[in-house]
Structure 1
Amino acid sequence: MAERPEAWERQPGESAAAWEAFACYRDLGLSRSISKVADTLRKARTLVERWSTAHQWVIRAESWDREQDRLWRAERQQASRDVARRHARLASAAQAKIVAQLQRLDPSRLSPSDVIRWLEATVRIERQAYGIDLAEAVTTSGSPDIPDVSELSDEERRARMEQLRRELESRIGTLGGESQ
C-alpha cells in the first residue's frame, strides 16, 4: 500500500499546474494569498481559487507552517545543546589551568582581601554548580558563611587559606572525576 504524501507535498490527483500554484502559495509564508499566487504565476484568480478550494490549500499550508516550526525548534534545541557542550569543554579546560595555578599558589603571599575574593568566587561557583539562587549568594559584609579574617593572625590566615586550597582542590578533583 502506497504511503499518503505529507500535506505540503503534491497530492494524488493534483495536476502539475495546481501543484506549482500550491507550492507558490505555501512558500509565500505568512504573507500568502490567492491574489499573490495569481499575480506571480499570471493565472486567473478564479482558477487559483478553485485549485485552492479543491486541494485544501489553507489546511495544507498550516501543516507546512507547523512542520517548519517543529523543525526550527528542533534545530534551536540542538544548537543550544551544542553550545552548552562547547562551553562546558571550554570551562573544563580553563578550570584545569586554574587548578594548576592554584597548586603553585603561595598562601603567605595573599592579603586578607585576596583570601576573601577567592572565597567569594569559589562560593559563587559552587552555588551556581548546585543551582542555588545567586540572589542568595554570600557577600563579605556580615555573612555567616565567610569568617572574619581580619581578626586572625598572619599564621592563622595562612593556615585557613591552605585549608581552603585543599578543600577547593578536593572539590575540583571530585567534579572532574564525575564528568569523565
Structure 2
Amino acid sequence: MAAIKPLVMDPDRPAWEQQPGERDEAWDQFRTYRDLGRARRSLPEAAKALGLSYGHTKTLASARRWVQRATAYYRWLDEIAEAEWVEARKKAMADDAKLLRIVIGAAAQRLATVDPAKLTVTEATRLMDLGLRHRRALFGNPTDVIAITGPQGDALTVQLQDFEQLPEEQRAVKLKELAASAARRAHALAEADEESDDA
C-alpha cells in the first residue's frame, strides 16, 4: 500500500471544509469521523463506521489532520451557538423591559387609588421591595447594593418608619407623589420604547 500523502491545508479556507487537492473519498472519510459527534467521535468508532482497520484509520487521521479539523469545526459550531444565545438573551431582556413598563404603569395607576390609612407597613415594604428587586435585576447588577443606614436600621426601614408616623393626610400626599413619580417614569420608558421601535 502506498504511503498516504500528508494533507496541505489552505490557510484561507476553514479547516473543516474540503481542502484543495483533497479527493472526494478522503473528504468523505474525514466527514464520517467529524460527524460522529462529540460523544462518539474516536478513531476506533471511525474505523468501524468506515469499515477500515484501526491502524489504517489512525494513519489516515494523522496524515489528513482529522482531530485538528474536527476540533476547529466544533469550535465554530460553539461560536454560532454562543452568538445565537446572546441574541436570544438580548431579545428576552427587551421583552422583559416592555413587560416591566406595562406592569409599572398599571401599578402606578392602581397606587394612586390606594387608601394610605389601609396600607400596612408590611404591604408597603413588600411593594417597594418587589419593585426595586425587579428594577435592579433588569437594569443593574442585583448584587451591587448601595445604601445609607441609620441608627434604627436600613434606609428602607427608616423611611417606612417615618412614613408610618405621618398623619393620614401627609401619607396620602406622599403616596400620590410616589404614584405620580412612578407614572412619569413609566411614561418616559414607554416613550423611549416607542422611539426604539420606530428606529
Please give the range of the TM-score, normalised by the shorter of the 2 chains.
0.7 to 0.9
d(CA) in 1 for partners of 2:100, 2:35: 43
| Secondary structure in structure 1 of the residue aligned to 2:154 | coil
- Give me the whole-angstrom Cα distance separating, in 2, the residues matched to 1:155 and 1:26: 75
User: Which has the larger displacement, 152-161 or 106-115?
Assistant: 106-115
Task: Summarize deviations over 1:115-156 as a string: whole Å, max 9, x none.
Answer: 4444444454555545574655799x7334514233222222
RMSD in angstroms over aligned alpha carbons? 3.2
- Equivalent residue letter for 2:71: E
Q: Does the Cα contact within 8 Å between 1:115 and 1:161 map onto a contact in 2?
A: no
Match of 1:143 in 2: 154
Query: More relative contact order in 1 or in 2 (CA 8 Å, sep 6+)?
Result: 2
Change (3 A) 1:32 1:117: closer
Equivalent in the alignment of 1:80: 89
Taking the TM superposition and a 5 Å limit, the aligned residue runs for 1:119-130 are 119-124=128-133, 129=139
Which among 1, 21, 24 is matched to residue 13 of structure 1? 21
Q: 1:48 aligns with which of 47, 53, 57?
A: 57
Helix, strand or coil: the match of 1:8?
A: coil
**Structure 2 residue identity aligned to 1:168:** A
For structure 1, list consecutive stretches of 5 or more residues without a partner in the other structure: none
Q: Say whether 1:92 aligns with 2:101.
A: yes
Question: How many angstroms does 1:3 deviate by?
Answer: 9.6
SS for the counterpart of 1:9 is coil
Which of 24, 32, 37 is equivalent to 2:32?
Answer: 24
On the 8 A contact 1:38/1:48 being kept in 2, the answer is: yes
Find out whether 1:111 has 2:119 as its counterpart: yes
Distance change >3 Å, CA 117–CA 10, structure 1 → 2: closer
Q: 1:108 to 1:3 in 2, by over 3 A?
A: closer
| Aligned twin of 1:66 | 75
* Counterpart-to-counterpart distance in 2, 1:89 and 1:106: 25
Question: Counterpart of 1:143 in structure 2: which amino acid?
Answer: D
Q: 1:160 aligns with which of 159, 166, 174?
A: 174
In structure 1, the residue matched to 2:4 is none
TM-superposition CA deviations, 1:58-84 (whole Å, max 9, x none): 221121121112112112112212222
Residues in 1 aligned to 2:93 and 2:37: alpha-carbon distance in whole angstroms:
32
What 5-or-longer segments of structure 2 have no aligned partner? 1-9, 195-199
The Cα offsets for residues 37-56 of structure 1, whole Å up to 9 and x where unpaired, read as 11112123343233223222
Is residue 172 from structure 1 mapped to residue 177 from structure 2 by the alignment? no
Amino acid at match of 2:185: R
TM-score by length of 1: 0.75
Distance 1:131 1:101 in 2: 28
Q: Give secondary structure in 2 for the equivalent of 1:179.
A: helix
Deviations 1:80-139 (A, max 9, x none): 122222222322333333333334x14356334244444444454555545574655799
Farther-moved stretch of structure 1 (13-22 vs 68-77): 13-22
